[in-house]
Amino acid sequence: MTALPSWQASLRDRLDAMRRSGRLRAARSEASQGARVRLDTNDYLQLRRHPALAQAMCHAATAEGVGAGASRLAGGSHPLHEQAEQRLAQLVRAEAATLFPAGYMANLAALTALTQPGDLLLLDRLCHASLIDAAAVATSRLRGQGRAVRFFCHNDVEHAAEQARRWQRRSDHSGGVWIVVESVHSMEGDAAPLLEFARLRDQLVGEGRSAALLVDEAHAVGVVGPGGAGLCAET
C-alpha cells in the first residue's frame, strides 16, 4: 500500500479523531421535500417554495439576467440590489443597508471594517461562530496589532461592564469599545437586554470613551418588533 503524503495522513488522523469523539459532521441530501414546516432549517415556513417567489425570481432572471457579473466596486450596483437595500433600511428603520451573500460575510465585514487598532471587541460568550471568527480576523497580525477581544457571560451586562472597566484601567488602551451581542440568540432562543447594553454603551461614552453596540439581528428581523423590524426597533 502506498503511503499517504504527510498532509493527507495528518488530515486523516484529525478526521478519525473527530469521528471517534462524535464531532465529525458530513453533508447530507435534503429530506422532507413536502414538509410545510421545517425546524431544522432557517426557512421554517418553507417560504422559498412559495409560488409567488418562484414567479418573481423567474421574471427577474428573464428581465435582468442571471448573476452579478462582477463585484459592485468593479461593475457597479444593480438597481434591484439598491432597491432591496432601500426597502430593508426602511424595514429596520436605518439610514442605509448593505446586502451580503451570507450573514457570515456580513459579520466578518462589520467587525473587520468598523473596528480600529486599539479598540476592544467585547463579545457575548455565546455569540454565533461567525462573530467569533470575525473578531479573530480583526485582531490578527495581518490586520495590524492593537485590537483586543474579551468575552462576557451570556447576556450578563454587569460582567460586560466589568470586562470593559478592567480593560480601560490599562493606561495604554485609548481605543473604543465594541459591545457585540445577538438580539434574539441563535441557539439559546432568548433575547438580549438591549436597553441595558445601550445604557452601558452610553456610560462608556459619558466617561470619554468611544463606544458602540453592534447587534446581530439575524434571528429577530421578520419575527419580532413592529412589522418584523427586529428587536432593536422594539426597544
pLDDT in tens, 91-107: 999 999 999 999 999 99
For residue 34, the model assigns a pLDDT of 66
Alpha-carbon distances, residue 60 vs 63, 132, 157, 228 (angstroms): 5, 36, 46, 25
Geometric angle at alpha carbon 194, from 189 and 199, rounded to 5°? 155
What band does 164 get if pLDDT is binned at 50, 70 and 90?
very high
Predicted TM-score (pTM) of this structure: 0.85
| C-alpha grid cell, residue 187 | 441557539
pLDDT in tens, 36-50: 777 777 788 888 889
Helices 103-114 & 129-138, crossing angle to 10 degrees?
30
Structural domains present in the chain: 103-234 (3.40.640.10)
What band does 32 get if pLDDT is binned at 50, 70 and 90?
low
SS3 track for 95-154: CCCCCCCCHHHHHHHHHHHHCCCCCEEEEECCCCHHHHHHHHHHCCHHHCCCCEEEEECC
The whole-number average pLDDT for the span 44-67 is: 90
For residue 75, the model assigns a pLDDT of 86
Higher-confidence position of 44 and 166: 166
